[in-house]
């Protein structure tokens, strides 16, 4: 299994990522699509992600086995606002159903975490559907912890699932002061 980090789209990448998204969605995977998306939709999504990659606001890792794309994942900065540029989200992580059990998820998450550290990020977050116990266990094994849960936050047709929020602290510069929720520092207020 190899990992590639594309910055530009090409016909092979567009077709391969679409095939993975289509296969995962067809089996009910939690990618945000209720129906299998068409090529125009997935191509536009990938082009948008690659624009963020080129501006250093994201990184896309693609797992390749032989000539086939079998999975992909990315980290993406939460926003361009200066107060949040130290953090990013893993909004998409997927492996082709026919390639499950090969360790693609672990390979991708491990690589994304390493790359996020290299990019100077301090915090990675992600959301996972509450019924995806295998993914939750994998994220926990890799150091993520649950920080919140939105009950029934994910709608799939007439079914509702919890949206489990997880995070991983990647480290921070020595001169950073962590205030947490203490009523001190810029923008603070005391309870009345």
Report if residue 187 sits inside a domain. no
**Local confidence band at 53 (pLDDT 50, 70, 90 cut-offs):** very high
Whole-number Å distance between alpha carbons of 187 and 137: 37
Domain interval for residue 163 = 2-169
Q: What is the pLDDT of residue 180?
A: 85
* Cα–Cα distance for residue pair 63/95, rounded to 1 Å: 8
What single-letter DSSP state applies at residue 102?
Answer: S
Residue 175 lies in a domain: no
* CATH number (domain holding residue 68): 3.40.630.30
Query: What is the phi/psi pair of residue 137, to 5°?
Result: -65, -40
Global model pTM greater than 0.85: yes
- Whether residue 188 lies inside any domain: the answer is no
Q: Express each pLDDT in 16-47 by its tens digit.
A: 999 999 999 888 777 777 788 899 999 999 99
Residue 183 lies in a domain: no
pLDDT 10s digits, 134-170: 999 999 999 999 999 999 998 888 889 999 999 999 9
Q: How many domains does the chain have?
A: 1
177 belongs to a structural domain: no
């Amino acid at each position: 299994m190899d990992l590639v980090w594309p910055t530009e789209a090409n016909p092979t990448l567009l077709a391969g990522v679409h095939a993975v998204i289509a296969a995962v969605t067809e089996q009910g995977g939690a990618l945000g699509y209720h129906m299998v998306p068409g090529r125009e939709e997935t191509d536009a999504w990938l082009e948008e992600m690659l624009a963020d990659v080129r501006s250093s606001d994201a990184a896309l890792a693609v797992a390749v086995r032989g000539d086939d794309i079998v999975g992909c994942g990315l980290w993406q900065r939460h926003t361009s606002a200066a107060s949040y540029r130290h953090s990013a989200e893993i909004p998409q992580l997927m492996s082709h159903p026919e390639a499950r059990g090969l360790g693609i998820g672990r390979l991708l998450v491990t690589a994304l975490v390493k790359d996020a550290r290299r990019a100077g990020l301090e915090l990675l977050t992600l959301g996972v559907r509450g019924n995806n116990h295998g993914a939750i266990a994998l994220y926990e094994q890799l150091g993520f912890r649950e920080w919140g849960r939105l009950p029934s936050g994910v709608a799939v047709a007439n079914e509702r699932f919890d949206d489990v929020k997880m995070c991983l602290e990647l480290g921070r510069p020595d001169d950073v002061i962590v205030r947490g929720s203490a009523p001190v520092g810029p923008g603070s207020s005391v309870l009345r």
